[in-house]
Amino acid sequence: MKKVLSLLLLLAIVTLQAHAQRYGTRTGTITFHSETPLETIHAVNHAARGVIDADSKKVQFAVLIKGFQFKKALMQEHFNENYMESSKFPKAVFKGEIVEGDPDFHQPGPYDVVVAGKLTIHGVTHDVKVPGTIAMSKAGAQINASFTVKPADYGIKIPALVKNKIAKEIKVTVDALLPMLQKK
């Protein structure tokens, strides 16, 4: 009887560990792009953190605002000090879950998904729904998504002097490889 209980306990532990798959990164890339007839603004951050729990289909991403790099130092300074107030609001965070699509985290291939959740930027949180892809491979889960954000929706004030140089909708792109995290 003792051997049967021990075997069942071992089987339960192995089963739980096999299903507790999480994928994560600290080197995801998030870019944003604003284009108007007067100016093109492009910034990139290669230090986005992200995690996907394969069982619950929960997804989280966070990025430090000061980590966005611009071609022009003055743009970066204005972005951090005047618009994003990155000392006051140091990061942008997304917390959500896969609500459409059914990626098989055990099988290679691309899977179309829709992730819904809460996006917090500049201290303001809104519900968002973002289409994207998860491509599974031996290297992990490759995440790709693009969506738009309206600065006005997040309380980001654009001075009248430069209002025509910044698009009313900013394109945000996420590109991240999330390797499987080691089990503890």
CA gap 11, 60 in Å, rounded = 30
Q: What is the CA radius of gyration of the chain?
A: 20
Range in 7-21, 61-75, 121-135 the model is least confident about: 7-21
Tokens of residue 88, six digits: 């006051």
* Confidence band of 4 (pLDDT split at 50, 70, 90): very low
Contact 12, 144 (CB under 8 A): no
Phi, psi of 94 (to 5 degrees): -120, 130
**Highest mean predicted confidence (pLDDT) among 19-28, 124-133, 153-162:** 124-133
* Confidence band of 3 (pLDDT split at 50, 70, 90): low
CA gap 172, 149 in Å, rounded = 7
- Percentage of the chain beyond pLDDT 90 is 83
Predicted confidence at residue 16, as pLDDT, reads 43
- Percentage of the chain beyond pLDDT 70 is 89
pLDDT at 176 over 70: yes
Predicted confidence at residue 7, as pLDDT, reads 41
Predicted confidence at residue 13, as pLDDT, reads 46
Q: Which whole number is the average pLDDT over 105-116?
A: 97
List C-alpha distances in Å: 65 to 3, 15, 44, 93, 123: 55, 40, 10, 10, 12
The distance in angstroms from the start CA to the end CA of the chain is 30
Which of 128, 108, 105 minimizes the C-alpha distance to 56?
105
Predicted confidence at residue 182, as pLDDT, reads 84
Domain boundaries, the chain: 21-178
Predicted confidence at residue 87, as pLDDT, reads 96
Predicted confidence at residue 161, as pLDDT, reads 86
pTM exceeding 0.75: yes
Predicted confidence at residue 162, as pLDDT, reads 87
pLDDT at 183 over 90: no
Topology given in CATH for the domain delimited by 21-178: Lipocalin (2.40.128)
Q: Which whole number is the average pLDDT over 86-96?
A: 97
